[in-house]
Amino acid sequence: MVNEPDMSYGNYSYADYLTWDIEEMVELIKGKVFKKAAAAPRRVHQWLAGNLYTEMNIFLKGKKCQAYIAPFDVRLPVNSKKDDKIFTVVQPDICVVCDLEKLDERGCVGAPDLVVEVLSPGNKQLELQHKYEVYEESGIKEYWLVDPESQTLLIYTLVQGKYQSSRLMTLGDIAKSAVIKGFALDLTDYFSEMN
């Protein structure tokens, strides 16, 4: 068993990922290791992720889609679903999977229908650049990006293989999902209770 990955090496697979014995959470993007922040996410991050997950989970009760909250491995294969051929493994704050065939005991293999990432000071580049690219390339239909500092939400919707962004939404707006039909989030209520 490997104790810790070599961060300068850039060709790890999910098979390698399964052998690591490390304390902090890591994600694998195109074979390169990205460590999550060493400290636990801030309270506001957890509050926002937890409450949105709860709202989605309640809404989805009795429907065919299921919501999951991090830590939850999402493997994004390109050509093969074999562990040693998967080079991207992410842990979105929240993901919604409607094709339940993609679920197994280790998480999700294939693109969820929707992912949510709540920005933290230590993860902005990872979320805004690296994950955006793999989410788009993997065919994730909808990507919600929540910014606690500015109390804003941006929704990226996949249209003909490319993300199109909503306008920047904030207090007073109602965010609606194109993927989870009927799901709406009142941003005034959502952000107002975080203090």
pLDDT mean over 19-27: 77
Instruction: Dump pLDDT digits (tens) for 79-136.
Output: 889 999 999 999 999 999 999 999 999 999 999 999 999 988 766 665 677 889 999 9
CATH of 40-192, one of 3.50.50.60, 3.40.630.30, 3.90.1570.10, 3.40.50.1980: 3.90.1570.10
| pLDDT given for residue 11 in this prediction | 84
d(CA 140, CA 156): 10
d(CA 119, CA 129): 12
113 in Cβ contact with 86 (< 8 Å): no
For residue 1, pLDDT over 50 is answered with no
Closest CA to 16 of 109, 89, 92, 105: 89
**pLDDT value for 121:** 72
Please give the model's pTM, rounded to 2 decimal places. 0.88
